[in-house]
């Protein structure tokens, strides 16, 4: 059975940074994927082609699970902003995949600092992102998923916790 670890979280939670740390470690090297590389259309395109952003996110999550299932790699990592329930729905079509979802989360203050100060993306440091983060946390808790607070941890320590939470360390 192939193992897939999916890191989810709002912008500024540390997903990409932690994925990059993991990608530098065996066995993740060469087996790390970034959700947005599938291409993120404009809101108008999402509406026209898929019926809206939520429908696009489900479609894109399904595309990723299909790609990961076709891979020869026994272990893969996918990071991205998608609903855990969409990951679970997409994984149902691939019983050959053992999918584990880990939510990376932090306080609104940490997220806003990372987005506005560190990434220079102050347009993302807004109440809507805080609501999205809260939604993801609620879904993760309801589904019994691993949640890692990245607020006070260095990226390497978060990567260690991801590996521990998934039984890969």
pLDDT at position 43 is 87
Taking only the tens place, the pLDDT of each residue in 52-89 is 989 999 999 999 999 999 999 999 999 999 999 999 99
pLDDT at position 169 is 67
**What Rg value do the Cα atoms of the chain yield, rounded?**
15
- Band (24; pLDDT cuts 50, 70, 90): very high
Domain map of the chain by residue range?
Answer: 2-165
DSSP H helical segments within 92-126, as ranges?
Answer: 108-113
97 in Cβ contact with 2 (< 8 Å)? yes
Portion of the chain with pLDDT greater than 90, in percent? 84
What pTM was estimated for this model as a whole? 0.94
Which residue from 48, 17, 21, 31 is spatially nearest to 110, judged by alpha carbons?
17
Options 3.30.70.1140, 3.40.50.720, 3.40.50.300, 3.50.50.60; CATH for 2-165 is 3.40.50.300
Average pLDDT of the chain to the nearest whole number: 94
State phi, psi for 166 to the nearest 5 degrees: -100, 5
28 in Cβ contact with 3 (< 8 Å)? no
pLDDT at 131 over 90: yes
pLDDT at 39 over 90: no
pLDDT at position 160 is 97
């Amino acid at each position: 059975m192939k193992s897939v670890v999916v890191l989810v979280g709002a912008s500024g939670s540390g997903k990409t940074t932690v994925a990059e740390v993991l990608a530098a470690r065996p066995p993740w090297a060469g087996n790390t994927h970034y959700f947005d590389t599938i291409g993120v259309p404009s809101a108008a395109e999402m509406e026209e082609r898929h019926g809206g952003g939520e429908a696009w996110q489900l479609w894109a999550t399904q595309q990723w699970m299909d790609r990961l299932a076709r891979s020869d790699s026994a272990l893969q990592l996918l990071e991205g902003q998608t609903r855990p329930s969409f990951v679970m729905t997409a994984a149902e079509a691939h019983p050959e995949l053992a999918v584990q979802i880990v939510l990376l989360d932090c306080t609104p203050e940490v997220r806003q600092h990372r987005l506005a100060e560190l990434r220079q993306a102050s347009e993302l440091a807004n109440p809507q992102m805080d609501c999205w983060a809260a939604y993801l946390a609620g879904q993760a808790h309801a589904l019994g998923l691993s949640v890692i607070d990245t607020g006070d941890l260095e990226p390497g320590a978060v990567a260690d916790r991801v590996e521990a939470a998934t039984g890969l360390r």
